[in-house]
Structures are given as structure tokens and as C-alpha cells.
Amino acid sequence: MDKNIANQDRLIVALDVPTVAEAKAMVEKLGDAVSFYKIGLELFMSGEYFELLDWLKAQDKKIFVDLKFFDVPATVGRAIKQLNGKGVTFATIHGNDSIMRSAAENKGDVQVLAVTVLTSLDRGDLDDLGFDCDVDKLVLSRAKRAIALGCDGVVASGLEAPVMRENLGHNFMIVSPGIRPVDNDDDQKRVVTVEKAFENGADYIVIGRPIRDADNPKAAAEMIQAQIAKTIS
């Protein structure tokens, strides 16, 4: 874990809502409890993605562009390059070595995160996709290649963070989605608690529904921030 990251920034809230108006309302509701936001495909399809990006930047928020770029390597490289100078901290990519290399070569002031295995997938899903290996072995293999090719870190479940830290060290970031403060019954399968994610070696956690759907989203975010501070202190 990178000890130089401010605890406040370690919580990334996923703005998984259909409209920019709803996203802005959530940011305003959370106020100073959250400093880092992830904007993904749902908002991209709203047609106002970059308006929201610029607005978040103006609010002095950190921005995680989670579009999981996957295309011809040169196209992915040019897409990442388009994000330079826009106030973006993280951007995600998918794919093989050439895609990761092209993204890393064009990242500029954006930190590139390679997606390992989506937290909505389990062993049975990997069988369906034709991956004849354990989840942790696949995650470790993809992380090792991503780091060697110049990516700044990976997106991976907190369940696989220990094996990555043990085998690959601490000179890269682990951003862990699938964080559930309470029992989970949604489509995320490989989940961990806030405390366990950081104990296992994550640098950041991404949380959406447990905050968005809470009766008091700001109180939920503040509770998670307190858990982070207690775990890392």
C-alpha cells in the first residue's frame, strides 16, 4: 500500500446513475465527505460525459474515467491521449500486451489502470469464457504484464491483492471495486469489506451502490471514511 495517498482520497465513489443531473446531485449531497469520483459507461451514454468531467474538475474533485478501453492498440493509445490535460487521474483499459503498451506510451498526465478480472466474474464465468486457470493466477498474470508494459496499476478484487503484493511488490497501485460494507446480494461476486481490502494491500477502493442507495448517502460515505482512517492509522 502506498502510504503517501491521503486517506480522504482512498475512497472512490462510483457515479453509476443514468443522467448528469443525478450525478451532480449526488456529488453535492456527499459534499466534502468524498473527493474522488468514478464515471463510467452509463454516464458516457448520457451524451454529457465531458460536461460532467469538466464540472467535477471545477469542483476540485479527482476523476476516474472508467471506460475500459478495448480496441485496436493504436486506437486505444489515441483515446488515452485525448484525456491528457483534462484533469483525469485514472483511466481504465482492457486487453492484451499491445493494447496495454499503447495506452502506457500515450498516458501523459493520466495514470493507466489495467483491468484484471471483473469482480462480477467467478470461476464458472471464466470457464464460460475459456480461461482454464484459477482466478488468482489469471489476475497475477495480467497484473505482471501490465506493470512491465508501463501501466501504473491494476483494477482487481481485494481478494487477489495479497498474491499480487507478495509476487509483484508495492511499486504499483491496486484499485479494488466490489467493496461491500455489509452482506452482499447483488451481481458482484468477488467482494471484500473495506477493512479487508486495505489489509490485503489495496491503495484505493471503489464503492457505488452501498453509498448511492443508502438512506443517508453522506453518512454512509463518512462511515466508510472512518473505517479507512481506522484501518490505515
- Give the residue numbers marked as catalytic: 68
Q: Nine-digit cell at 1?
A: 500500500
CA distance 192 to 194: 7
Integer CA distances (angstroms), 50 to 24, 38, 87, 164, 175, in order? 13, 13, 11, 34, 23
**Neighbouring-strand partners of residue 65:** 39, 91
CA distance 204 to 194: 10
Distance of CA 162 to the CA centre of its chain: 17
Q: Work out the number of other CB atoms within 10 angstroms of the CB of residue 184.
A: 16
Half-sphere exposure (Cβ direction) of 95: Cα atoms closer than 13 Å: 24
Counting Cβ atoms within 10 Å, is residue 100 exposed (0-12), middle (13-18) or buried (19+)?
buried
CA distance 65 to 182: 27
CA distance 223 to 9: 14
CA distance 15 to 52: 11
CA distance 69 to 99: 9
Q: Nine-digit cell at 26?
A: 449526488
